[in-house]
Amino acid sequence: MPTLAIVGAGPGLGLTIARTFGSRGFDVALIARTREKLETLVAELGQEGIRAAAFPADILDRAALADALAAAGAHFGGIDVLEYSPAPHSPVPGLTLATPSEVTVDNLQPVIEYALYGAVAAARTVLPAMRAAGAGTLLFTTGGGSVDPVPMFGNANAAQAALRNWVINLNNELAGSGVHAAHVAINVWIGENGPTDGPKATPEQIAPLYWDLHENRDRSEVVFNA
């Protein structure tokens, strides 16, 4: 069976992406910081007939992230699709938001570590085998501010924009290799999170985009708007 690895797996969009691929015959490797939360998701997917396994790692620890992906590949016999979408549901040490005029090296660096460096580390772990096989998909998620920035997320938007640029350029480099890279910018609040008057969408509305990018491989970016 092919395998999907989700970095930043959680009970919202990550779980729904897992279901989207798992219902189509994929095994699922779930990677996030907390083993207990991952095991809950593994059990939930198992009840739906989807084979999944947990590989705890903190994405700010790039060696641990690489080890988790390597363990997932060994467990399932390879990784065919990587999806990178860390979104903290609890405080992450060092991560704070700043407006553009408040951005400093000190409050920008941790966000770059989280958004960009983690993505680069994850891709470098799985890409050699994908290139050797001549097949694979790399999917990376940011907020809509990576494309259309807003002041309250000044440092986060800058880091996510760097990730967006790198992903699109990575896909340019991979043209003709059989490996496809794409960026998903989600320009809405997911579920019940966020302000009451902001645009919202459910994970079930968003997740099909990831399958479409994997299947059709015809674009390097999708911006999801309400």
Give one DSSP letter per residue of 7-63, joined into a string.
ET--TTHHHHHHHHHHTTT-EEEEE-S-HHHHHHHHHHHHHTT--EEE----TTSHH
Q: State the pLDDT at residue 197.
A: 65
- How many CB atoms within 10 Å of residue 186? 22
| Amino acid identity at 66 | A
- What pTM was computed for the model? 0.94
Q: Is the pLDDT of residue 163 over 60?
A: yes
Taking only the tens place, the pLDDT of each residue in 23-39 is 999 999 999 999 999 99
Q: Is the pLDDT of residue 44 over 90?
A: yes
Dig out the tokens for 7 from the structure.
């970095």
Do 37 and 56 meet the contact criterion of CB atoms below 8 Å apart? no
- Give the residue from 86, 90, 28, 97 showing the smallest Cα distance to 62: 86
Q: State the pLDDT at residue 193.
A: 55
In angstroms, the CA 211 to CA 200 distance is 21
Q: State the pLDDT at residue 198.
A: 72
Average pLDDT score over residue span 12-27:
97
Q: Is the pLDDT of residue 89 over 60?
A: no
Tell me whether residue 97 is exposed, middle or buried, using C-beta atoms within 10 angstroms of its C-beta: 0 to 12, 13 to 18, 19 or more. middle
Higher pLDDT, 107 or 200: 107
Most confident of 113-117, 164-168, 198-202: 164-168
Average pLDDT score over residue span 87-99:
74
Express as a percent the part of the chain with pLDDT over 90. 88
Q: Is the pLDDT of residue 194 over 70?
A: no
In angstroms, the CA 147 to CA 203 distance is 20
What CATH number should be reported for the domain whose range is 3-224? 3.40.50.720
Q: State the pLDDT at residue 195.
A: 57
In angstroms, the CA 35 to CA 53 distance is 10
Sorting pLDDT into bands at 50, 70 and 90, what band is 185? very high
Do 177 and 134 meet the contact criterion of CB atoms below 8 Å apart? yes
**Cross-strand partners of 189:** 200
Sorting pLDDT into bands at 50, 70 and 90, what band is 91? low
Task: Give the residue extent of every domain in the chain.
Answer: 3-224
Q: Is the pLDDT of residue 160 over 80?
A: yes
- How many CB atoms within 10 Å of residue 197? 6
Average pLDDT score over residue span 76-89:
89
Do 28 and 51 meet the contact criterion of CB atoms below 8 Å apart? yes
Q: State the pLDDT at residue 133.
A: 97
